[in-house]
Amino acid sequence: MNAPEIRELHAMEEFATASRLYAGIWGTDTAGPPVSAGVMRALSHAGNYVAGAYEDGRLVGASVAFFGDPPATTLHSHITGASGGRGIGLALKLHQRQWALARGLQRITWTYDPLIRRNAYFNLVKLGARPEEYLTSFYGAMDDAINGGDESDRVLIAWDLTAPAEAPDPGTTPAVPADAAYALRNRGGRPETGPADADTVLVDLPDDIEALRRQDPGAARAWRLAVRHTLGGLLAEGARVTGFHDRRSYLVDRNPTTAA
């Protein structure tokens, strides 16, 4: 399959199409999409990033970002969505990277749901971005098909644009020290906390948090609170996430200042 065509959006009808695409991806009413056409119009007109991905002339993905803090160094990517896989999300992020570099920016930040394994894998492994801060219920409760009415805990992640452009090899599994311990483990689908006093700890995720939110809200809440307490607590203490192990566990260095 040919790579999607990525280009900036400028016309009101393009923004309206992107808004409908977002509504379909997030499962919201078209009257209340994650981002409206009017907001995209205003952001684009002010010189921010609004781009779409096209296959055979049909919009299949879109991304919206705006300049952030610190000024003149950072682009904050507010939302990126694609209908299906096929590398559309990656193509959008790489286009966004080139757009930011052309304007002299040094990093791109965004937030993501730390409980969704595929998003953690994409951000940490395929792009090589790194978490900086745990944000508790950042948007409040979100009643859409993805969040299922759950509180919207998020991780703020940063992509260093000064690093080499080549993304890490997705097939590479980060080395786990022999004395690493599980601060949070998936035991039969339920979270089980453990001691977090090793230099390197692992934080497991549920197999499918989106399915849990639909089928077992109590279990989903237990996972959210466990990850909030464990991963959020570690980041607040100055620990650093160094990778995503085996597509299911955050690898966390509790003493990053002593790392080689």
User: Residue 206 burial (CB < 10 Å; 0-12/13-18/19+)?
Assistant: buried
Q: Is residue 167 part of a domain?
A: no
Please give the C-alpha separations between residue 34 and each of 8, 38, 116, 119, in angstroms, as whole numbers.
19, 12, 18, 18
How far, in Å, CA of 108 to CA of 116, rounded? 20
Please tell me whether residues 141 and 222 are part of one structural domain: no
Please tell me whether residues 77 and 191 are part of one structural domain: no
Please tell me whether residues 149 and 207 are part of one structural domain: no
State how many domains the chain has. Answer: 2
Instruction: Over range 179-190, report the average pLDDT.
Output: 95
Instruction: Report CA torsion sign: 9, 14, 19, 20.
Output: negative
Please tell me whether residues 185 and 152 are part of one structural domain: no
Q: Is residue 170 part of a domain?
A: no
Residues with Cβ within 8 Å of residue 69, at least 6 apart in sequence:
none
| Residue 38 predicted with pLDDT over 80 | yes
Instruction: Over range 209-234, report the average pLDDT.
Output: 95
N residues, the chain: 260
Q: What is the pLDDT of residue 260?
A: 38
Please tell me whether residues 86 and 214 are part of one structural domain: no
In the chain, count of helices (H) and strands (E)?
A: 7, 12
Q: Is residue 23 part of a domain?
A: yes
Q: Which residue has the higher pLDDT, 196 or 92?
A: 92
Instruction: Over range 100-122, report the average pLDDT.
Output: 96
* Residue 259 pLDDT level (bands cut at 50, 70, 90): very low
Please tell me whether residues 38 and 152 are part of one structural domain: yes
| Residue 237 predicted with pLDDT over 60 | yes
DSSP assigned state of 172 = P
- Span 83-96, pLDDT tens digits: 877 899 999 999 99
- Degrees to nearest 5, angle at CA 239 with 233 and 244: 95
DSSP assigned state of 145 = T
Alpha carbons within 13 angstroms on the beta-carbon side of residue 145 total 10
**Could you tell me the residue range of the domain that residue 190 belongs to?**
181-258
Q: Is residue 113 part of a domain?
A: yes
Please, are residues 180 and 195 in contact by the beta-carbon 8 Å criterion?
no
Residues with Cβ within 8 Å of residue 199, at least 6 apart in sequence:
177, 179, 180, 253, 254, 255
DSSP assigned state of 151 = B
* Residue 257 pLDDT level (bands cut at 50, 70, 90): confident
CATH, residue 150: 3.40.630.30
Q: What is the pLDDT of residue 175?
A: 82
Please, are residues 105 and 158 in contact by the beta-carbon 8 Å criterion?
no
Q: Is residue 102 part of a domain?
A: yes
- Span 52-94, pLDDT tens digits: 999 999 999 999 999 999 999 999 999 999 987 789 999 999 9
Please tell me whether residues 241 and 135 are part of one structural domain: no
Mean pLDDT estimate for the chain:
91
| Residue 239 predicted with pLDDT over 50 | yes
- Span 121-171, pLDDT tens digits: 999 999 999 999 999 999 886 665 565 567 889 999 999 999 876 655 555
State the residue for tokens 């022999």: 178
b/e burial code for range 21-35 (CB count within 10 A of at least 16 → b)? bbbebbebeeeebbb
Task: Quote the radius of gyration of the chain (alpha carbons, Å).
Answer: 19
Instruction: Over range 239-258, report the average pLDDT.
Output: 91
